[in-house]
Structure 1
Amino acid sequence: MSTKKRFFSFFIMLLAFSMLLVGCSSSEETSNEDDNSDQSESEKDTLVFGRGGDSTSLDPIAVTEGETFRVTCNIYETLLKYGEQDMTINPGLAKDWSVSEDKLTYTFELQEGVKFHDGTDFNAEAVVFNFERWMNGDADQFPYYSMFGGYKGEESHVIESVTAVEDYKVEFKLKRPQTPFLQNLAMSPFGIASPSAIEEYGDKFRENPVGTGPFKFSEWRPNERIVLEKNQDYWQEGLPKLNKVIYTVIADNSARLNALISGEIDLLDGLDPQDATQLTDDLQLFERPSNNVGYLGLTATREPLDNKLVRQALNHAVNKQELIDAFYGGKGDPAVNPMPPVLEGYNDETEDYEYDVDKAKALLEEAGYPDGFEMDLWAMPVARPYMPNAAKIAEALQQSFKDIGVTANIQTKEWAPYLDDARDGKFDAFLLGWTGDNGDPDNFLYTLLDKDNIGSNNYSYYSNDEVHDLLIEAQAETDQEKRIELYKKAQVIIKEDAPWIPLVHSKPLLAGSKDIKNFKPHPKGSDILTNVEFE
C-alpha cells in the first residue's frame, strides 16, 4: 500500500473513532441534564419571592422599613420571637427568662451550641455587644432603638445596663418599668448579629450580614435581587426545609403578577386586590392578618401645615371609603386612629373627620387661606401591604384637595431617599404607613407620633407634651386597664391635632404557586420561611 493510501485509511479510522467519542460524550451529557431536570422537578427547593421594592440595608437596626425586615428576619434571630401568626411572646435565642417583682430586672437563659454564620459562638457577650452598639448610637444610625426610650446618656433611655452574668445568661436592668419590654425584644430590628463580623466589616456590615438564622446571606444585586442560602449548621435540627430563597424586585404590580402566573416567581407580596380575580387554578391566595395603617402624613413644621385648622380641613376633604373601594377592592377598613382596632387600647369612641367639602373650605378660610394654597404631595414608589398603589391614591387625593382649593403637586423618588427625606422633615404631605411590630399600642402611638421619635419614625414632626406624658406613663404602667385608658386619651388628643390623615387598615393579599406548603403570612409584615417547602 502506498504511503498516500495508508495515510487516507488512517484518517478515515481516526475520523470514525472521533465521531464515536463525540456520540458517547453527547449521550452522557444529555443523560446528566435529564437527571438534573428530573431532580429539579421532583425536589424543588428554591423559593423565588417577588416584591415591589428593594431592601435599603441588611443591617435591620439601621432602618425602619419593611423590605429590609422581610429579608433580615431570615438571617438574624432575636432573643424572643412572636407566635406563628400572632404577637404572643415565645422563646427565641433566649430559651427562658424571669422578671423581678419590681419589673426592673430581666434575666435571660440563652440557647447553647448556637453559631453565627461565620462560625463564631453566640453567647451572652454577643448579646451585650449588640445592645452596647445600639445604645451608644443615635437616631440616624439606629432609629428603631428609640423603642427603649432613647440612647445612652439620655434621661429618657430606659435601659440602665446589660450584663453577661454567665456564658449563657444575660441580665437587663431598667431605670423604670417598661411594660412592652419583652414585646420590643422580639422585634425584627433587634436581631443579634455576629460581633466579629461587625468589627470586620464596619460600615460595610449592612452589605455583609451575619446572624444565627435559618438562612445565610449569599448575594445582593441592588434593585434586582437578594439571595439567601440554607444555613447547614442551623441549631434547630432538620430546618430550614428550603435550600435557597431569592428575593427579586419587580416594581410594577401587574408585571409581578404576570411573573407569578408564568412561573418566573413562586410567591408575591403586595397583590393589588383588584387583580385577585386573575389568579389561575394553579395559584393560591393568602391574606395577611391586618395589623397596619396607611396614612397621609402632614409635616407639622412646614407652612401652612403647621396650622392645625389647615390639617383638619385636609382631613375633611378625603372620602376614605371611596379610596378603599377603588384601590383596595373593598378589603380594608377606614382608619380613624393611628393604630388598628385589633390592638387592645384602641379608642372606638374617637370621632372621625366626616367627609365634608364645605366644612373643609370653612376651616381653610378660618385659618387664613380662603383661596387655598399649594403644596407637594409625595407618593411612595413601591407597593406596600398598607398601600398597594400609592400613585393612584395620590391622584385621588390630589382631586379631593382640588375640590377645596388646594393644589397638590404629586412628587416621588426612589424608596431609600424617599424614606430619608421623609425622616428629615423635607416633605409637605407624604403617603406612608406602618405594620405593627410587637402587638402593643406603644409601637404605633409612641413610635410614630411621640416627640422622642422626631428624626426617626415620627415623620410628621408632631410634638405634643400632653401626649408625650400620657405615652411615657403608659409605658411604665403595669395595670393593663390603666394603660388602656392612657392610650385612649392620647388618641383623642392626636385626633384633634390631626398630624395625619389616617386612611386605611388594609387586609394585605399575597399569592403563590399551589405547591407551596407551610407559608403562613405574619401580621408584622415580614415572614420567617424556616418551615416553608414545596409539595
Structure 2
Amino acid sequence: MKKKSTTFKMLLISLLAISMFLVGCSNNSKETGGKKETPTTSSEGGSKKDTLVYGRGGDSTSLDPITTTEGEAYKVTINIYETLLNYGDQDTTINPGLAEKVDVSDDKLKYTFHLRKGVKFHDGTDFNADAVVYNFNRWMNGNDEQFPYYSMFGGYKKDEGHVIKEVKAVDENTVEFDLKRPQAPFLKNIAMSAFGIASPAAIEKYGDDFRNNPVGTGPFKFVEWKQNDKIVLEKNPDYWQQGLPKLNKLIFRVIPENAARLNALAKGEIDVMDGLNNSDEDTVKNNPDLQVIERPSNNIGYIGLNTTKKPLDNKLVRQAINHAVDKKTIIDAFYGGKALPAKNPMPPSIEGYNDAIEEYTYDLEKAKALLKEAGLEKGFEIDLWAMPVARPYMPEAQKVAEVIQESLSKVGIKANIQSVDWATYLEKARKGEFGIFMLGWTGDNGDPDNFIYTLLDKDSIGSNNYAQYSNDELHNILIEAQTETDQTKRNDLYKKAQEIIHEDAPWVPLVHSTPLLAAAKDVQNYLPHPTGSESLLKVEFK
C-alpha cells in the first residue's frame, strides 16, 4: 500500500507541474515573427507584460556608441550606457546624469563634474573619476576611423583644433576638464549618446570586440545580438535609480520593410515600430489596438554631392542639380503633409537658422542653362546611391530615389540607382566613394554646430562630412561660432555660414520631416526624443 500511495502522489505532482507549465505557456508567451519570446510576469505575480519588442528598419552597426554616428546604434546603446549629463525627456535642455552637477569657470575653460556615488558598471566594477578619464583618453587618442564622433571636440589630441587640453581625476568622484579655448556647445556635446561611459575593465577584456560586448551603467544589460535579426537587453537589477526600469526585457527586431513592420505590429508580434509611412497613419489611427506617436522634428533629409568627384567638383553642376529636383512632388507623395521643404542644412527649429536665404527653385530650364555653362549641355551619367533602410527623415528612400532619378533625367542626367546593405552604405559614404547619394541627419544636441560643423566642415571629412566638402572661410566662421559664448553673435555667424553653403551647394537639402512611429495601445510613457534616441527607462504596459 505504501508503494502505491507514493506512486499516486508522484503522478499527481507530475500532472500538476505539466498543467502549470501549459498555463504559463498560454498566458505569457508573445509571438514575434514566428518565434516565441517569453517575457516574465510582474513581481506581484500578475500577467502584466514586461518585455517590449521594438521593430526597426535596420540593424545597429556597433554597440560601442563612440565607434559610429548612426541612429540605429544609439537606439540601443542609450539604454545600456549613460552619459555624464542627460537631455530633457523631450528636449535638449541639460540635466544631471552620471554627474550630479557641474561647476564652470568664468572664462569657460574649466568644467568640474561632480559624479554620482555608488554607481557600478554591469560587470560589477566601480564607476568613478578614473573611468571617465579612461574613456576620454581612449577617444582623444584615437582617430576618425575608430571614433568618428569625437571630432565634435575639434578633432583629436594630435590635432591643432582639439578643444580639450586635459581630463583629470581630482578625487574618486570629481573630474576636471581643462579646455584650450571656450566651446559654446561643450555641455550639450557631453550629453550626446556617442559619449556613453563604458567599463574600462570590459574594454581591456574585449579589445576590438567590445563593440559586440557592451558594458555600461545603464538601466539595461546586454544579453545577445543576432546580426540583422535581433538585439536582446535585460533589466539591470543593480541600477542606481530605484524602481527603474519598468520593463524586464527589451528586444530590438530588424524588419526592413515599413509595411511588414506595421503588419507585425497589427498582429501583436512587436509593440513599437519606427518608420511608419505617412500613407499608413490613418490605418493605425483607425485600429483601436494601436496608437500613432510623433517624434519632434529635428532633422534634414538631403542628397549629397561629392565635391571631389567629377563633374560634381564643379559648383555649377551642383547648383544645376539643386534646380532639377522636384521637392514638392517628393513631399506630397511620401510625407502626407508632415514635412517642410529644406533650403538650409539645418531645420528651422534650431537657433541661427537663416530664413532670408532664397531656396533653389524647381526650374528645369535654369538647370539646363547651368549645365551648359559647365560644358555639360548633353548631360552625363552617374550612380545615385539610395539608402536600403527607412530613416526618420526619409521613410521610403527607394521610392524617393525613383522620383529623383526621373527629375534628373529631364535635364539630361542619367542616374543609375544603386544600393548596398546599411553598414556598407555608411562606410562607403564615409570614405567618399559615392558621387550622388541620399542621406540625412537627426540632430544630436539641439545646437547648430551639430548640423553645420558636424556635417559640412572640413574637420568632419572622414566622419560625417560625406560630401567631402571643404571651405576655409566656412571653417573659420564655424570655429569662431564654437568659441563665441554670446548666442546672438553665434546666430549671426551661423547665418553667414549658411549663405556660403547655399552658394557652394554641396547638398540638395530635401526635407525636414515629422517622423511617425506606431505602438500598441497598451504601451505607455514612451516619449520620442528629437535626437532620435530615447531611453526606455520609464516605458511600461498598462
Q: TM-score range by the shorter chain?
A: over 0.9
Determine which of 313, 316, 341 is the counterpart of 1:309: 316
Structure 1 segments of 4 or more deviating over 4 A? 14-24, 35-41
Letter in 2 for 1:505: H
CA distance, structure 2, for counterparts of residue 474 and residue 146 of structure 1: 16
* Cα distance, 1:278 vs structure 2: 1.8
Residue equivalent to 1:33:
22
Question: Could you say which residue in structure 1 is the equivalent of 2:249?
Answer: 244
CA distance in 2, matches of 1:441, 1:115: 35
| Partners of 2:24 and 2:332 in 1: CA distance | 50
- Taking the TM superposition and a 5 Å limit, the aligned residue runs for 1:347-358 are 347-358=354-365
Residue type at the aligned position of 2:268: G
What do the CA deviations read for 1:142-161 (whole angstroms, capped 9, x no partner)? Answer: 00000000001211100000
* Deviation string, structure 1 residues 235-293 (Cα, Å, up to 9, x no partner): 01110010000000000111100000000000001111111122111101100000000
Check if 1:510 corresponds to 2:499.
Answer: no
In the alignment, the residues of structure 2 paired with residue 18 and residue 237 of structure 1 have an alpha-carbon distance, to the nearest angstrom, of 48
C-alpha separation between the residues in 1 aligned to 2:4 and 2:486?
91
Cross-structure match for 1:337: 344
Using a 3 Å threshold, how does the CA distance of structure 1 residues 398 and 35 change in structure 2: closer, same or farther?
Answer: closer
Q: 2:279 aligns with which of 274, 283, 305?
A: 274
Cross-structure match for 2:229 = 224
**Residue correspondence of structure 1 range 459-478 to structure 2 within 5 A:** 459-478=466-485
CA distance in 1, matches of 2:20, 2:477: 71
1:416 aligns with one of 416, 420, 423: 423
In the alignment, the residues of structure 2 paired with residue 460 and residue 330 of structure 1 have an alpha-carbon distance, to the nearest angstrom, of 29
- Which of the residues 199, 214, 238 maps onto 1:209? 214
- CA deviations 1:155-214 (Å, max 9, x no partner) are 110000000001000000000000000000000000000000000000110000000000
* Letter of the 2:129 counterpart: A
The 5 Å alignment of 1:80-159 reads: 80-159=85-164
Instruction: Specify the alignment match of 2:185 in structure 1.
Output: 180
List runs of 5+ in structure 2 lacking aligned partners. Answer: 29-40
Alignment of 1:409-488 (within 5 A): 409-488=416-495
Which residue does 1:196 correspond to in 2? 201
Structure 2 residue 519 is the aligned partner of structure 1 residue 519: no
How big is the shift at 1:26?
3.2
Q: Give yes or no for the alignment of 1:61 onto 2:66.
A: yes
The equivalent of 2:380 in structure 1 is 373
Alignment correspondent of 1:79: 84
Alpha-carbon distance in structure 1 between the residues aligned to 2:232 and 2:17 = 31
SS at match of 1:42: coil
Tell me by how many angstroms 1:28 deviates: 3.3
What's the secondary structure of 2:477's corresponding residue? helix
Distance apart, 1:319 and its partner CA? 1.6
Which sits farther off after the overlay, 389-398 or 23-32?
Answer: 23-32
Q: Give, in angstroms, the shift of residue 380 of structure 1.
A: 0.6
- CA 1:369 to 1:28, structure 2 compared with 1: closer, same or farther past 3 Å? same
TM-score (norm 1): 0.96
Secondary structure, in 3 states, of the residue corresponding to 1:310?
helix
What is the total number of aligned residue pairs between the two structures? 524
Q: Which amino acid aligns with 2:445?
A: N
- Mapped to 2, the partners of 1:15 and 1:498 lie a distance apart of 90
| Corresponding residue of 1:361 | 368
Residues 242, 303 of structure 1: CA spacing in aligned structure 2 closer, same or farther, 3 A cutoff? same
Partner SS for 1:125? helix
Separation in structure 2 between the aligned mates of residue 244 and residue 156 of structure 1, nearest angstrom? 43
Question: Shift of residue 478 of structure 1?
Answer: 1.0
1:65 deviation in Å?
0.3
Partner Cα separation in structure 1 for residue 170 and residue 26 of structure 2: 53
Q: Give per-residue Cα distances to partners, 1:449-492, cap 9 Å, x unaligned.
A: 00001011000000111110100000000111110000000001
Q: Secondary structure at the match of 2:438?
A: strand
Instruction: Tell me the CA shift for residue 19 of structure 1.
Output: 9.3
Partner of 1:166: 171
The structure with more radius of gyration: 1
Q: What is the SS of the residue equivalent to 1:219?
A: strand
CA distance in 2, matches of 1:445, 1:20: 75
> 1:20–1:232: structure 2 CA closer, same or farther, 3 Å change rule?
closer
Partner Cα distance (1:37, 1:17) in 2: 31
Distance in 2 of aligned mates of 1:191 and 1:86 = 18
Q: Does 1:256 align with 2:261?
A: yes
Q: What do the CA deviations read for 1:37-91 (whole angstroms, capped 9, x no partner)?
A: 4465722000000000000000000001000000000000000010000000000
Q: Give 1:320's aligned residue.
A: 327
> Which letter does structure 2 place at the counterpart of 1:342?
S
SS in 1 for 2:102: strand
Q: Supply the distance in 2 between the matched residues of 1:164 and 1:19 (Cα, whole angstroms).
A: 68
What CA distance in whole angstroms lies between the structure 2 residues aligned with 1:45 and 1:232?
14
User: Residue 397 of structure 1: which of 394, 404, 426 is its match?
Assistant: 404
Query: Which residue of 2 is the match for residue 6 of structure 1?
Result: none
How far did residue 320 of structure 1 move?
A: 1.0
2:127 partner SS: coil
SS of residue paired to 1:369: coil
Name the SS of the counterpart of 1:505 in structure 2. Answer: strand
CA distance in structure 1 between the aligned counterparts of 2:174 and 2:271, rounded to whole angstroms = 41
User: Aligned partners of 1:37, 1:509: CA distance in 2, in Å?
Assistant: 33
Amino acid at match of 1:467: L
RMSD between superposed Cα atoms in Å = 1.7
Letter in 2 for 1:150: G
